[in-house]
Amino acid sequence: MKVLIYKTAEEVKAQAARRLLMSVQRTPQSVLGLATGGTMEDVYAELVKQTHRHAASWAQVTTFNLDEYWGIPIDSPASYRTYMNHHLFNHINVDLDATHIPPSEGENPDLAAAQYEARISGAGGIDLQLLGIGVNGHIGFNEPTSSLASKTRLKTLTQSTRDANRRFFDTMEQVPRYALTVGIGTIMASEECLLVATGSSKAPAVQAMIEGPLAASCPASALQMHQKVTVMLDEDAARDLELRSYYQLVHPDGQESAVSDG
């Protein structure tokens, strides 16, 4: 794992946006895996700015989002489709038909999940998967004790996740209990992952992910088995890392080193 530690959250988000844009510029037909959440709002704001600054084109890019709430209308203000259109897709020249988000409703979630997984495979798999991390160590909505080999499926959200996302809804009752999420196995099949975390509330989960045992109790720890993962952290999110000075030695100020150091 490449662990890059920056002084501020702003720097992390600018660097993450830069890395995403580089992928689009290098490979115009990139297949990107995208994430939602508070952290990504600033990443996308920066990505929109950088896209315009560099006159970059998203015309041939395909995207697959990690997850969507289950049981709310897709055009609800709290859906991840609404979030993605609002924070990113409406501001760049991506083809909306090439932006995929799991459905939020339907008769048969198992079939919808299988179809989503097949669509990812049909696109040739994910080239670069953007990830956040929950305070409980989830990636996507793969809550603790998710199968580390899981594929896209319906998951029951933990109370901690519902509490964390309460701010996006008017009342607690409105916070969905389920989500369709790509699995940990789906994430592991991506070519490369970029995980972004900022703030001290993420410090314990970040430590468990990078330095803890590989365990379903911290789903993000599965990334220890992925061949190419970059983790971008601010100093607060890096607070609990035992080998922090080693990561800073390898990548001073979050700079990528000449050696691959995966």
Measured CA to CA in angstroms, residue 124 lies from 94, 117, 120, 129, 140 at distances of 18, 11, 7, 13, 20
> Contact at 8 Å (CB) between 152 and 117?
yes
Is there a catalytic annotation at residue 251?
A: no
We find the least distance from the C-beta atom of residue 250 to ligand PGA, in angstroms, to be 26
* Structure tokens, 72: 């709310």
Residue with Cβ nearer ligand PGA (56 or 209):
209
Q: What are phi and psi of 258, to 5 degrees?
A: -70, -30
- Identify which range of 88-96, 127-135, 143-151, 227-235 contacts ligand PGA by CB under 6 A: 127-135
Asked if 126 contacts 120 with a C-beta cutoff of 8 angstroms, the reply is yes
Contact present, 5 and 210 (Cβ < 8 Å): no
Residue 219 found at the interface with ligand PGA (CB under 6 A): no
Residue 143 a catalytic site member: yes
38 in contact with ligand PGA (CB under 6 A):
yes
Pick the catalytic residue: 11, 42, 46, 67?
67
Work out how close the CB of 150 gets to ligand PGA at its nearest, in angstroms, rounded to a whole number: 16
Closer residue to ligand PGA in complex, CB, 133/209: 133
Query: Binding of ligand PGA at residue 142 (CB under 6 A)?
Result: no
Of 102 and 132, CB closest to ligand PGA: 132
Q: Contact with ligand PGA (CB under 6 A): which of 132, 137, 183, 254?
A: 132
Stretch that binds ligand PGA, among 10-18, 70-78, 130-138, 243-251 (CB under 6 A): 130-138
Our finding on whether 176 is near ligand PGA (CB under 6 A) is no
Q: How far is the CB of 5 from ligand PGA (least distance, A)?
A: 18
- 129 scored as a contact of ligand PGA (CB under 6 A): no
Task: Using the minimum distance from each CB to ligand PGA, give the nearer residue, 38 or 73.
Answer: 38
Instruction: Assess whether 170 carries a catalytic annotation.
Output: no
For the question of residue 67 being annotated catalytic, the response is: yes
Closest chain position to ligand PGA (CB):
37
Interatomic CA distance for residues 35 and 29, integer angstroms: 19
The distance of Cα 162 from the centroid of its chain, to the nearest Å, equals: 18
Stretch that binds ligand PGA, among 25-33, 37-45, 208-216, 226-234 (CB under 6 A): 37-45
Q: Summarize as ranges the residues that interact with ligand PGA (CB under 6 A).
A: 37-39, 132-134
Which residues carry out catalysis? Answer: 67, 136, 138, 143
